[in-house]
């Protein structure tokens, strides 16, 4: 069974640009969550989606947004990039939201110059 | 607000030297506690899920236990390939959001 896939794996952008990251969950999984990982803050929750609806959102500014499609694939978008947005962005999928194990993808390494 | 604290921050072990990692948590209504290992530059790899106090799970050289306030990850006779950062996360409240600890970086030397 294929795992969670994320594209692209690496990305370099400049301040002020916008970026879109993609995540394909494990087949049969309907929930997708996004996390930001930095050396200083560790793993921070961004948002989660289930059946195309955002169910929960972390404490990030409105520049961070996401969506989920009918096939459970998800995208997240960051507009007006700042240097501090440089991080590893991780996507995780699970069958449901409650009490269910989340399986992580390899991440997208975003560098903002 | 849910909080997760892991200790120690770093652990250096000789091959075969058993040890334990601690994860203490405060959460309103624990729905699950999760252990992951993460290698540099990679996504976290799932190890265990624990749901209630008293529960234990084992996998090869790893054993996870859970009480009402903390969880332990015991590493028995570690090998160099067990070197990684071990992350603990809790799920409480609404939805599937995971609150992660900062991790314990484990280095096992031959």
Model pLDDT for residues B55-64, shown as the tens digit of each residue: 999 999 999 9
Give the pLDDT confidence score for residue A96 in this predicted structure: 85
Q: Considering only alpha carbons, which residue of chain B is nearest residue A46?
A: B97
- Whether the pLDDT of residue B96 is over 90: the answer is no
CB-based contact (8 Å) between B92 and chain A? Answer: no
With CB atoms and an 8 Å threshold, state whether A101 touches B34. Answer: yes
Q: How far is A58 from chain B (nearest CA, A)?
A: 9
Residues of B in contact with A4 (CB under 8 A): 43
CB nearest to A106's CB, from B42, B99, B103: B42
Task: In whole angstroms, give the CA distance from residue A29 to residue B15.
Answer: 38
Nearest to B49 among A55, A101, A109 (CB): A101
The distance of A5 to chain B (nearest Cα, Å) reads: 11
Identify the pLDDT of residue A99.
76
Which pLDDT score, from 0 to 100, does residue A100 have? Answer: 87
Cβ contact (<8 Å) for A99 and B31? yes
Distances (CA, A) of A112 to A60, A108, B11, B90: 17, 13, 32, 30
Residues A37, A90: contact at Cβ < 8 Å? yes
Specify the pLDDT at position B42.
94
Residue B27, pLDDT > 80, answer: yes
């Amino acid at each position: 069974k294929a795992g969670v896939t994320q594209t692209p794996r690496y990305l370099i952008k400049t301040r002020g640009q916008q970026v879109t990251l993609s995540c394909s969950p494990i087949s049969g999984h309907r929930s997708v969550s996004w996390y930001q990982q930095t050396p200083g803050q560790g793993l921070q929750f961004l948002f989660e989606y289930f059946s195309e609806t955002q169910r929960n959102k972390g404490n990030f500014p409105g520049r961070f947004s996401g969506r989920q499609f009918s096939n459970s694939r998800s995208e997240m978008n960051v507009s007006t990039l700042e240097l501090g947005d440089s991080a590893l962005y991780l996507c995780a999928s699970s069958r449901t939201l409650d009490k269910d194990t989340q399986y992580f993808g390899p991440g997208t390494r975003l560098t903002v110059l | 607000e849910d909080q997760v604290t892991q200790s120690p921050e770093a652990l250096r072990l000789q091959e075969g030297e058993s040890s334990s990692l601690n994860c203490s948590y405060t959460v309103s209504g624990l729905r699950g506690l999760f252990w992951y290992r993460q290698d540099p530059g990679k996504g976290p790899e799932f190890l265990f899920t624990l749901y209630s106090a008293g529960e234990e799970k084992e996998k090869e050289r790893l054993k996870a236990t859970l009480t009402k306030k903390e969880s332990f990850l015991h590493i028995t006779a570690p090998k160099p390939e067990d070197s990684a950062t071990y992350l603990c996360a809790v799920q409480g409240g609404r939805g599937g959001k995971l609150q992660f600890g900062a991790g314990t970086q484990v280095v096992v030397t031959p």
